[in-house]
């Protein structure tokens, strides 16, 4: 149990286009989902916290108008990178927390590798 | 100062060696800590939680020292398959935000 999927697993796009990444909890309801970004040889940096039915909470330095997050249901959150630029190329990983778990363990998706040309 | 800091390594050790990683944290309010393992181009996977009383799982032992604000991971009898990046993380904030260290790379060689 506790499987999280991401789609697509990798994407290559042209500069200026928008890319949508989906994060799904397959066998549990996720009250909270998190979006991370990881540059090569660096750690995961939390971008935003997404709660179902409410606005996402963004970390300092993350542009909310550039990284649009929608958590429309208890099993789906989407991250849209708008007007992508080469510096947005990174590994984007989501995680989901099951409200049923006492200790709120985070289950990670397999990640999406974005390359902006 | 970063909230969670780790020595990036790499640690190059022979098979069978014992290796220890430390991680320091600055937020004394953090209550829960974890060690994750991340393979190249993959998502992090939870290795173990860290308790003040210590936590042992086979060849892996994790410790939390609240007085000195550091957590440790000890790997005994290293295997080639242990080669990976090990990330420590602490829970922060009301929404259970995980703050990760930069990770320590371990390379186990024959």
CA atoms within 13 A on the CB side of A84: 21
Tell me what pLDDT residue A99 has. Answer: 66
Which pLDDT belongs to residue A100? 58
Q: Which residues lie across from B75 on neighbouring strands? A: B19, B60
Q: Do residues A31 and A16 touch, judged by C-beta distance below 8 A?
A: no
To the nearest whole Å, the CA of B75 is away from the closest chain A CA by: 21
Pick among B10, B40, B44, B50 to test the A interface (most A CBs inside 10 A): B44
pLDDT at B88 over 60: yes
Mean pLDDT of chain B: 90
Rg (CA), chain A: 13
B99: which chain A residues are within 8 Å (Cβ-Cβ)?
46
Of these ranges, A12-21, A37-46, B59-68, the one predicted with the greatest mean pLDDT is A12-21
* CB-CB neighbors (< 8 A) of B5 in chain A: none
Looking at residue A35, its pLDDT comes to: 96
Tell me what pLDDT residue B92 has. Answer: 75
Say how far apart CA A58 and CA A79 lie, in whole Å: 12
Question: Residue B42 and residue A110: Cβ atoms within 8 Å?
Answer: yes
pLDDT in tens, A25-62: 998 888 889 999 999 888 899 999 988 888 899 999 99
User: Residues A95, A77: contact at Cβ < 8 Å?
Assistant: no
pLDDT value at B83 more than 80: yes
Contact A43 B98 (CB under 8 A): no
Residue A106's H or E segment, with its range, is: strand A106-108
Longest dimension (CA), chain B: 45
Residue given tokens 């989407």 in the structure block = A78
Q: Which residue of A has its CA nearest to B105?
A: A41
- pLDDT, one tens digit per residue, over A84-101 is 999 999 999 999 987 655
């Amino acid at each position: 149990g506790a499987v999280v999927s991401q789609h697509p697993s990798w994407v290559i796009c042209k500069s200026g286009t928008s890319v949508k990444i989906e994060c799904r909890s397959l066998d549990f309801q996720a009250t909270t989902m998190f979006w991370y970004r990881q540059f090569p040889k660096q750690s995961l940096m939390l971008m935003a916290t997404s709660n179902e039915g409410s606005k996402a909470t963004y970390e300092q330095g993350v542009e909310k108008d550039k990284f649009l997050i929608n958590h429309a249901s208890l099993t789906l959150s989407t991250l849209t990178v708008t007007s992508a630029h080469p510096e947005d190329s990174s590994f984007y990983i989501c995680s989901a927390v099951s409200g049923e778990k006492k200790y709120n363990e985070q289950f990670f998706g397999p990640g999406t590798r974005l390359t902006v040309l | 100062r970063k909230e969670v800091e780790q020595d990036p390594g790499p640690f190059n050790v022979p098979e069978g060696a014992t290796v220890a990683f430390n991680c320091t944290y600055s937020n004394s309010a953090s209550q829960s800590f974890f060690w994750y393992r991340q393979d190249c181009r993959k998502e992090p996977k939870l290795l173990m939680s860290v308790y003040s009383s210590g936590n042992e799982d086979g060849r892996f032992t994790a410790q939390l020292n609240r007085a000195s604000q550091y957590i440790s991971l000890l790997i005994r009898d290293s295997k080639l398959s242990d080669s990976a990046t090990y990330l420590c993380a602490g829970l922060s904030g009301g929404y259970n935000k995980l703050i990760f260290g930069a990770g320590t790379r371990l390379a186990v060689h024959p």
